[in-house]
Amino acid sequence: MSSQQCALGTPFNVLADSGGIWLYRDSDWPREVFFHGGELSIDHKLQQISDADAQRLREMETRTRALMPQVAGIAHDVIDLSYDALGGVIEVLTGSAFNARKIERMRRGASAYVDGTLGNGRWDQQAFDGNFERYVERHAEDFKGSIARHMLWQIVTGRSEGIDKRAQQMDGQLDARLDAQASTIEANANKLCPQVEALRQLQDALAFRYQGKRLQLLAPLEQDTPHNDRAHAEPKPGNGDAPPGDAIEVQPASNR
């Protein structure tokens, strides 16, 4: 799950709800951009904009808010794919009902996190841009000991044929199902790209300039590189009404 699916990226975290669109980050400037109802605020300062720009911002707000539920739906599909794959491998190697229940708890925990973030219109860079994959990988690592114990036990007790039997039962079926899920996810993600591109075009059409430059909330990937210019850094302004910039960790599932 990444904000870079459509060859466009944003250096900001995003919160889109009925109160407007917040974009915020912990480094580089501007730190916070907020727009709602055709008004634009940057780092808590209301900006003077044209009527045409006000209309563009209204459309950007509507489009951004409409995107979030679609992104959340794709995130849920990615979760199902990830834990179906993990569960299939663990089932073949261990045949353990306990491990199957543990994977389902992990799946529910990840799904609840998506509901609490994307489901509420919140995109956290740290949580989703590459870190979700690492989160699933850490879960896979948690099963190494269990896999080793189950395999050793089956070998010692002469039941290793159980692994082959389970593998034969799943042969081809799991791969075909996962491939179909992955293709659907990719297709649905690509369907969002025209909407993201429309947002970029609205942004690029803004006549407003911030410190003499275009306001870049979305940019092609090669331009999506925060400067982190510490030489011009200032104390971080108070959050005011803006959401915190710290990403929320996905909590590991309980073993109970």
**Domain ranges within the chain, ordered by starting residue:** 8-232
Say whether pLDDT at 139 is over 60.
yes
Distance of alpha carbon 92 from alpha carbon 130, whole angstroms: 27
Distance of alpha carbon 234 from alpha carbon 195, whole angstroms: 35
Distance of alpha carbon 71 from alpha carbon 127, whole angstroms: 14
Say whether pLDDT at 127 is over 80.
no
Say whether pLDDT at 232 is over 70.
no
The encoded tokens of residue 138 equal: 């850490």
225 versus 75: which is more confidently predicted? 75
Mean pLDDT, rounded, of the chain: 80
Where residue 160 falls among pLDDT bands split at 50, 70, 90? low
Could you tell me what percent of the chain has a pLDDT over 70? Answer: 71
- The label of the residue with tokens 């179906």 reads 84
Say whether pLDDT at 195 is over 70.
yes
Tens-digit pLDDT profile for residues 47-66: 999 999 999 999 999 999 99
**CA dihedral sign, ordered 145, 148, 151, 152:** negative
pLDDT at position 98, please? Answer: 82
Where residue 21 falls among pLDDT bands split at 50, 70, 90? very high
Which pTM was predicted?
0.74
Distance of alpha carbon 107 from alpha carbon 88, whole angstroms: 13
Q: How many CB atoms lie within 10 A of CB 230?
A: 8
Distance of alpha carbon 214 from alpha carbon 179, whole angstroms: 42
Say whether pLDDT at 44 is over 90.
yes
3-state secondary structure of 243: coil
218 versus 133: which is more confidently predicted? 218
- The label of the residue with tokens 């543990």 reads 102
Distance of alpha carbon 186 from alpha carbon 77, whole angstroms: 10
> At CA 69, angle to CA 14 and CA 71, rounded to 5?
70
Distance of alpha carbon 247 from alpha carbon 238, whole angstroms: 17
CA R_g for the chain: 23
Could you tell me what percent of the chain has a pLDDT over 90? Answer: 48
